Structure 1
């Protein structure tokens, strides 16, 4: 009997991950301020460091061994554990919380975070205005480390629609993300009061028109994401936050912060990208296990330029 083998390339990311600004920042949020029980260990208090990405991450590919933290004395630290929680709802998954020992704030603070394992991004969901590509982040680094005594700032914003939208009123919803966990800074404020300090801006022939949200959603869940509910039909293109309105877990208040809304500008054609010669370095299944390939099984082909190809061989 004659057999026909068909290889389907379902999605191909041909962008070199090392050339992207996918790893936005790391925030030295707490110095020996978290219990080691969070990592299912007994012992001393741990440092906490949120690491922030432009694209959402594949939770199944995440491991603490995917990261290294370099301190100012040249010591390399591997986190004890790593979580997407608490910012792990649909439409989030852009912040990894690293726990471990990463140096001391005064004598040897962290100065660089490196991705050293096969950590993958994933596609955005329906209802997100931002784009994403499926890429392997192995080799990506950042020296944008926010010191312990600095306050939080905005690092990401997008428009949210459909099932991701948690606003009960308004005509458009903007999701914003901070580079560290936040709570209200002003005495007497609850998280539901924070909407009044945000300002959204629409663009009218180059002039930014301010709009104050009518309410705020996605609150009281101990993460770094908010959803801002606007009544205007004018498209919001930027969001800002007034100074001294939120604080991080170290009780450092924010400075004035602003961020542009991310809108998807997809590639017009896969042929528009000139792909350099690349070398296959690994083939893994959906769980990240090495595989020689089985019929009717989805496999990920990993190349040395950061490219990942998802293939299915059908008999």
Structure 2
């Protein structure tokens, strides 16, 4: 499921916003710097009618459309307002935003997925087709502005694909945020030398709603390059970042060979709408 309940002590400041105006001051930031562009990687029509548990994310969310949007970098959530997003439907109408939230993807390195909630266009009559950033929404390091970024919406009936794979700079800390623990499981400390974070277009589980396990770990394939330039395919030694209900998996690796790409076969994982994933592959982004 995309939605999880958070207990006491979990980080909750500024992670959901219902302000329909852009209150971020224009800092004159560019849309690209040092090779990093301000882009939207995907917008996924995840659910037409959110369940009651979505009220935990934003009051009054039940029954609204849910649409995870993935950014090219982590964002500065203090610059995120619901009004930063404009959703256009097939007829050319504009959807009505209710809330924007980074829940439940709040582990370190995950603040690039925003769940858009609102009356964004029903799939059966006038589905959403495009998301535009119309407000000043900044990257987490304050170097780029996502205003002007745009991406087509993946239809409701489509299953989720991998939209990003990246080497994690400190995989031993994934699953913690300062002194506050969140629910993503960690890579084992013994025998693991690096990790790749895989970000799906939306939250994924097995068809029965449970988390992936050993069988699904073995279905991931990581193509790596050895020191002599040879390429080979390996399996992750462990699968982590589970149990927190978000759209990220951590592929824990027991080799220092450079990861090049990640792939996963079709019809294994489902989104909250029950749609199975297609066969999917993504190049691995190196550390910046």
**TM-score range for the pair, normalised by the shorter chain length:** 0.7 to 0.9
Aligned to 1:153: 161
Whether the aligned pair in 2 keeps the contact of 1:56 and 1:92 (CA below 8 Å) is yes
Aligned to 2:260: 237
Gaps in structure 2 of 5+ consecutive residues: 1-26, 175-185
Residues 292-311 of structure 1: CA deviation (Å, up to 9, x unaligned) = xxxxxxxxxxxxxxxxxxxx
Q: Give the direction of change, closer, same or farther, for the CA distance of 1:96–1:24 in structure 2 (3 Å limit).
A: same
Q: Give the direction of change, closer, same or farther, for the CA distance of 1:120–1:72 in structure 2 (3 Å limit).
A: same
Aligned to 1:33: 50
Once the two structures are superposed, the pairs formed by residues 180-191 of structure 1 within 5 Å of their partners are 180-185=202-207, 190-191=211-212
Cα displacement (A) at 1:208: 3.5
User: Helix, strand or coil: the match of 1:184?
Assistant: coil
Once the two structures are superposed, the pairs formed by residues 136-285 of structure 1 within 5 Å of their partners are 136-143=145-152, 145-162=153-170, 163-165=172-174, 166-168=186-188, 169=190, 170-185=192-207, 190-193=211-214, 194-203=216-225, 208-264=231-287
Whether the aligned pair in 2 keeps the contact of 1:159 and 1:262 (CA below 8 Å) is yes
User: Helix, strand or coil: the match of 1:65?
Assistant: helix
Work out the number of aligned pairs and report it: 242
Larger Rg: 1 or 2? 1
Residues 92-147 of structure 1: CA deviation (Å, up to 9, x unaligned) = 11110011111111221111101111111123xxxxxxxxx72111222112x111
How far apart in 2 are the matches of 1:150 and 1:264? 31
Q: Give the number of the structure whose residues are more often strand, by fraction.
A: 1
Once the two structures are superposed, the pairs formed by residues 55-74 of structure 1 within 5 Å of their partners are 55-74=73-92
Gaps in structure 1 of 5+ consecutive residues: 1-10, 124-132, 266-315
Whether the aligned pair in 2 keeps the contact of 1:246 and 1:253 (CA below 8 Å) is yes
Cα displacement (A) at 1:12: 9.4
Cα displacement (A) at 1:156: 0.9
- CA RMSD between the two structures: 2.5
With normalisation by structure 2, the TM-score equals 0.77
How far apart in 1 are the matches of 2:50 and 2:193? 41
Cα displacement (A) at 1:13: 5.6
